[in-house]
Structure 1
């Protein structure tokens, strides 16, 4: 039995952050029901990566919404809204990520919903919270990265702002949302009363940077100092931390004693006695290391350096990673079965419970696919 079996989650959410939280709750055993508009479903069904669609919905929608059910309802239709309210009476959690004011207009804001169900855990994802000059702006990942300072942490000093190649804000916000919802369930079970859980993309992305923002706040307002050498791994860390070109690929070096690493690589770095110089003179140290590292293969360096207790790794592509025994040993890949009987390869939940990996072969539903059975099971009509 999975830990959240018996819980019912109503997901009024769309796109990525909040549905990612719903995915994790479903993986852990909750029954997650997407409340979607008739026919077309939620807007995220049409947001595609590389324009890939599967079974009428985008591939990215499938990655986020597997293992869920879909209930079709027009929330502007009084009859549909009345049935949704009956469903809310029997739910444990509802989530939404509409802009401030939208659920109030529908009549499903927190106060209205807790009047329907006094034990509900009511979860809200916003872009920037409910107040302030940004409150009504689009809560989109790249925009959040841009406004949060995150884009000035990667690449070289002359590169300008560089966004992450992932929906970073959405993913971390979804993780925070799950944490808040689970904490809300614990509080509800102690108090037998409703709980409001709120997260925002901006706050989550700022929290993701808590180490470096705290450094900025306590270091005289010194901005992140990216290296001029390509491959530097962190704007706030000293040499040798970064990625170096080898004879046939790339090698990453993590933190460690610079003198030991220099000796292992074959570069005399003893003149850099003061550890402060390992940061202040980071570029020249990395160049010295890089010139030497370029003359051997990645595997030769890993074999040599690991034997001396130095933290390092080859830099792998997806093709190399997904064929490596280190990846295969995790059992991370799973297949889900599409409504037409086809198969879709994806990843499983990364959490293990009592040593058991959590798999599910249920694909994302078609819009409204489960409406009739939910109506019967919850006595809605």
Structure 2
């Protein structure tokens, strides 16, 4: 595995930091999750739809599979000394404490780098270390709202609409993993460790690079369409439309070509110069026409014409699709005699999909072994 031999101390909780550590574990790193003695990672009790697996929520197992757990009270000098001993033998430390907390715990970058100059120190925060937002709660929905993401989705007469997924948390985790890997590469060349920091707000702004760049360069303030809004700047037909028995998604395509293919003379004759300015009117015409036929009928016509179209699937329909089955995107993880199905890493290495069937650890289950290893290492010095 690419990261075989790399040791990661994961002091983070919930989603952003743990997702970065998860990806490193998927790639072969040994990830030791350092958790509070009292309750551990708060994600252990964050149950979605009341689901639990073993001793924790299914969410916790999904994001912390294939890790070890070491329970410690970082405010206790003796236990913090044990964590410092782990730092000496680690390659990466990940945390998502608010700015200043790691320094108050005696585990800030200066102290960690003193213990291990080769360490890669990775932090994810809500809003960075400076500025008036520094101490705001770093939570996905709040950052979506603050960053403008919620004003891009939904139709014009709807309230600002957040995404249904924790896209900022997960994207921040991916950015953090990229930064960690880049510093590991640099360390391989120079022998020098380093520090990487990612914030949720920076990630949210970066996610909007396409429409935000248009706005910054004179494109005007983004305005959601009144009809089938899917992108604040793209012209019709971009959006999702009702059919007689479901929905289909239409991406970028010439309006006249679309009109010809679906048999709508008005669309076929719509002047190209008006496609952008009359976006809502065009979408209304498309919506009325597509509602008269089934999804299968329109998909067959549009696919045959090479136009960019897709069915809108819910999860049962998605899982039944041969295309989904060919992805091999689901794995089974095991904890004792229990099993649970979840997603697997989207990364393929040397043509092979990564798999990590071990469930998340029980709180502190590695303490006895790790403490013994630390005592042995101390005796060798």
**TM-score interval w.r.t. the shorter chain?**
over 0.9
Distance 1:280 1:154 in 2: 20
The corresponding residue for 1:349 is: 345
Distance 2:133 2:42 in 1: 22
| Residue in 2 that maps onto 1:375 | 371
- Give the distance between the partners of 2:230 and 2:19, measured in 1 at CA: 28
Query: By how many angstroms is 1:203 displaced?
Result: 0.2
- Equivalent residue for 2:299? 302
Match for residue 225 of structure 1? 223
Counterpart for residue 280 of structure 1: 277
Q: Is the 8 A contact 1:9 1:33 kept in 2?
A: yes
- Residue 146 (1) aligns with residue 145 (2): yes
Q: Gaps spanning 5+ residues in structure 2: where?
A: none
Name the SS for the 1:70 alignment partner: strand
Show the counterpart of 1:360.
356
User: What corresponds to 1:10 in structure 2?
Assistant: 9
Contact persistence 2:54–2:338 (CA under 8 A): no
| Pairwise CA distance, 1:233 | 1.8
Map 1:18-97 → 2, pairs under 5 A: 18-97=17-96
Structure 1 position 380, deviation (Å) = 6.0
Q: In 1, Cα distance between the equivalents of 2:66 and 2:328?
A: 18
For residues 362 and 377 of structure 1, the distance between their equivalents in structure 2, rounded to whole angstroms, comes to 22
Which stretch of the first structure deviates more once superposed, 11-20 or 53-62? 53-62
Structure 2 residue 202 is matched with structure 1 residue 203: yes
Q: What corresponds to 2:286 in structure 1?
A: 289
Q: Counterparts of 1:62 and 1:223 in 2: how far apart (Å)?
A: 42
* Alpha-carbon offset, residue 223 of structure 1: 1.8
Q: Secondary structure at the match of 2:156?
A: coil
How far does residue 213 in structure 1 lie from its aligned partner after superposition?
A: 0.6
Distance 2:31 2:164 in 1: 29
Residue 330, structure 1, aligned to residue 327, structure 2: yes
Residues in 2 aligned to 1:359 and 1:82: alpha-carbon distance in whole angstroms = 34
How many residue pairs match? The answer is 376
Q: How far is the alpha carbon of 1:141 from its aligned partner?
A: 0.5
**What is the aligned partner in structure 2 of residue 244 from structure 1?**
241
- CA distance in 1 between partners of 2:225 and 2:323 (Å): 31
Contact map agreement 1:68 1:365 (CA 8 A) in 2 = yes
Q: Deviations over 1:336-370 (max 9, x none)?
A: 001x3200100110100111111111001111011
TM-score, normalization: structure 2? 0.96
> Aligned-pair RMSD on alpha carbons?
1.3
**Counterpart of 2:313?**
316
